[in-house]
A and B are shown apart, each in its own frame.
Chain A
Amino acid sequence: MADVIALTYEISPDDFTRAGEASSDVKSKLKQVGVSPAAIRKVAIAMYEGEINMVIHAEGGKITVEISPTEIKMILADKGPGIPDIEQAMQAGWSTAPDEVRSLGFGAGMGLPNMKKYTDEMNIETTLGVGTTITMVVKI
């Protein structure tokens, strides 16, 4: 396909205050290439939730964003502990986040449901002890 822009980000697990910088950067790049505000907001929210999850539940990882004329694809790959039960994790309100994460404003168990809600396609591949790769697509 013509005109695919690919962006990659290494997500560091060390600094919670910087979590979200990649999503912020993607948001401004999408604005520059003229994607509609509604589509940008969907991508920004879904990616930000995923980025935060990589920092609080895994040990960081890598995010690739592919922008084509028809869709935006986000691939979030981490080498964290994996998700034992995807169906349970997808339920609104399910969270294993410790109190310390909750005091930072996360751990409501709403991230994965939000990612599903704001994207047109979402796929989770996970292996315990190996890692999780989440692929999301927003049509534009």
Chain B
Amino acid sequence: MTVRDAMNVLGARVLVGEENLDREVRSACGSDMMSDVLAFSKDHSILLTGLCNPQVIRTAEMLDIVCIIFVRGKKPDNTILEMAKERDLVVLETGHRMFSSCGMLYAAGLHGGAI
């Protein structure tokens, strides 16, 4: 699916990267612990998280993640959004909680990928 598809599934809002919504995504990972995320390294991935600090952007950068989705209405500040822009990331925000967000994307065909 594309980032746009994921956005529609979650009724999410774009905060950064409007121009990159047609990028392809093939797997996703959801966690508030960045080292758990760093253990996961797949191409064309989405990161779902409820953590809201600059290290989320750095973690995404190290993993070449395509799109970050902040769940349960987390509002990243301007510093975080600027960092995301510089790194050419898409940032979305959804009011759904982590469990529901992951479930909705999974049901729509986006999986975690083999371990």
> Which A residues touch B38, using CB under 8 A?
45, 48-49, 110-111, 114
Contact B39 A105 (CB under 8 A): no
A16–B63 CA distance with the chains assembled, in angstroms: 20
Residue of A45, A106, A107 near B63 (CB, 8 A) is: A45
Contact B62 A106 (CB under 8 A): no
Q: Is A84 located at the chain interface by the 8 A CB criterion? A: no
Contact B33 A23 (CB under 8 A): no
The 8 A CB mask of B79-95 against A (1 = contact, 0 = none) is 10000000000000000
A contact patch SS? helix
Contact B62 A105 (CB under 8 A): no
Contact A110 B54 (CB under 8 A): no
The 8 A CB mask of A22-66 against B (1 = contact, 0 = none) is 011001000000000100010011001100100000000000000
Contact B56 A105 (CB under 8 A): yes
> Assuming A17-B54, A45-B41, A49-B38, is B61 touching A106 (CB within 8 A)?
no
Contact B63 A41 (CB under 8 A): yes
A102–B36 CA distance with the chains assembled, in angstroms: 12
Interface size, chain B (Cβ < 8 Å)? 21
> Which A residues touch B35, using CB under 8 A?
49, 106, 108-111, 114
Interface size, chain A (Cβ < 8 Å)? 27
Tell me the B43-64 residues at the A interface (CB within 8 Å). Answer: 49, 51, 53-56, 58-59, 61-64
Tell me how far the C-beta of B57 lies from the nearest C-beta in chain A, rounded to whole angstroms: 9
A111–B35 CA distance with the chains assembled, in angstroms: 6
Q: Is A2 located at the chain interface by the 8 A CB criterion? A: no
> Assuming A106-B35, A110-B38, is B64 touching A41 (CB within 8 A)?
yes
Chain B residues within 8 Å of A, Cβ to Cβ: 32-36, 38-39, 41, 49, 51, 53-56, 58-59, 61-64, 79
